[in-house]
Amino acid sequence: MNVITGIGWITDREYGCVKRQLHKSYPDMSSLRSELQDESVFLYPVKGFGKYDRSSQMTCCVAALAFYDAEMSYSESRKQDIGILGTNADGCLRSNLDFFNDFVENGRTLGRANLFVYTLPSIPVAEAAIYFKCQGPLLYMTFPRTPVASLLRQADRMIRRGESTGMLAVMASEKAAQCFIVRRMDDVSGEPISGVEEVIGITERMPPLAEMIEALTKS
């Protein structure tokens, strides 16, 4: 049996996690990163955070909140057998537009390399994998409907097939993000939030993030 051990979430002005019932506001991404470092949600500095595109910043922050919620430690020097699955509605469209506009402004002869880096939809989860030292499978996926439920089902299947002992399921855009940590029950020492199937049911019934988080907190 696989279970959900931690859930982090971020909107355009608030953030929190489910198990610890954390709920706070923040003014901007720079302040959010600083707050998460001050609260030891980030256990060490995120190098290059200021150069990340918005989706990558949201992905790293929401993953840190999920680890914090699950009371799971991580280290710069220790790799861990955890994979990451990512999804959203628009892929990396905003970052592609930013790079193309920069390319046009520079006479269609060059574009800034730091903008080009984020023109693949898998980059946000790759940045998170580098920071958290995750060595499991890493995929960006899209789904025609119920993206969170579909992502959780995929994470559940991958763990059952033995591809990893744990998975992060992340849905992150420039405006909102949520991250679920899925693990085998046999590997969990504390009390999980819920079984995977129960959380999948909630995410299918309540797609708006605020309602979803409220339901998960009460589950």
Q: Are strands 22-25 and 14-17 parallel, antiparallel or unpaired?
A: antiparallel
Average pLDDT of the chain, as a whole number: 89
Q: How many CB atoms lie within 10 A of CB 215?
A: 16
For the segment 145-171, the average pLDDT, to the nearest whole number, is 95
For the segment 130-154, the average pLDDT, to the nearest whole number, is 94
Q: What pLDDT, in 10s, does the model give residues 37-49?
A: 999 999 999 999 9
* Domain at 169, CATH number: 3.40.47.10
Q: Residue 111's pLDDT band (boundaries 50, 70, 90)? A: low
| Full residue range of the structural domain in which residue 67 is found | 2-218
177 closest CA partner among 79, 77, 89: 89
Question: What is the value of pTM for the model shown?
Answer: 0.90
**Up-side HSE of residue 110: CA atoms within 13 Å toward CB?**
3
Question: Which residues, in sequence order, are CB contacts of 104 under 8 Å at separation 6+?
Answer: none
The count of domains in the chain is 1
The confidence score (pLDDT) of residue 68 equals: 98
Q: Residue 183's pLDDT band (boundaries 50, 70, 90)? A: very high
CA–CA gap between residue 181 and residue 32 (Å, rounded): 21
